[in-house]
Amino acid sequence: MNDYTPSLDRLASLAREHPNLLAGPVTLYKEQEGLDDQRLATMLGCEVKAISRLALCERPREAPHFREDVERIARYIHADVMQLALLIRAAESRYALRQQPGATSPTLLAARDYEEAEEVSTEDKGKPSDG
């Protein structure tokens, strides 16, 4: 194993069990949507290696800090801030729903994603840009 190269992916994988980090929610979202890192990166408009960095970021604080935290993460991984906000909202609701037995049907998830998307979009329109 002399050619073994360390990778942040392994750390990101270990981080899934740490609930304050984004690794768990993002992994769950990828799994449910059948996405790999490359496709998620394309969706977010960032490089594929940024996905492990995203996983190691803290979960954004709730409002009024949510927007500020998401913007900071987006700048760090060079991702589209709106797409990232939508991803985080969707991933976090799925993560929360997973803790509730019997509440994980695809219809419920889709409805929840739609509501979250609307919420983020409205929030975005209602606030002046600070970035």
C-alpha atoms less than 13 angstroms from C-alpha of 19 in its C-beta half-sphere:
3
**Candidate residues 46, 53, 67, 89; the one interacting with another protein per rule CB under 8 A:** 53
Tell me 14's DSSP state. Answer: H
When asked if residue 27 is in the footprint of another protein (CB under 8 A), the reply is yes
**CA gap 27, 94 in Å, rounded:** 11
How far does Cα 65 stand from its chain's mean position?
A: 16
When asked if residue 10 is in the footprint of another protein (CB under 8 A), the reply is yes
Long-range contacts of 98-103 (CB under 8 A, 24+ apart): 98/28
- Stretch binding another protein (CB under 8 A), from 8-16, 89-97, 99-107, 113-121: 8-16
Q: What angle do CA 3, 47, 120 make, to 5 degrees?
A: 140
Site string for another protein, 95-114 (x = CB under 8 A): --------------------
Give the number of residues in contact with another protein, rule: CB under 8 A.
35
When asked if residue 91 is in the footprint of another protein (CB under 8 A), the reply is no
**CA gap 87, 32 in Å, rounded:** 13
When asked if residue 60 is in the footprint of another protein (CB under 8 A), the reply is yes
When asked if residue 33 is in the footprint of another protein (CB under 8 A), the reply is no
- Catalog residues that contact another protein under the rule CB under 8 A: 1-4, 6-8, 10-11, 13-16, 18, 20-21, 27-28, 30-31, 34, 36, 53-54, 56-61, 65, 69, 72-73, 76
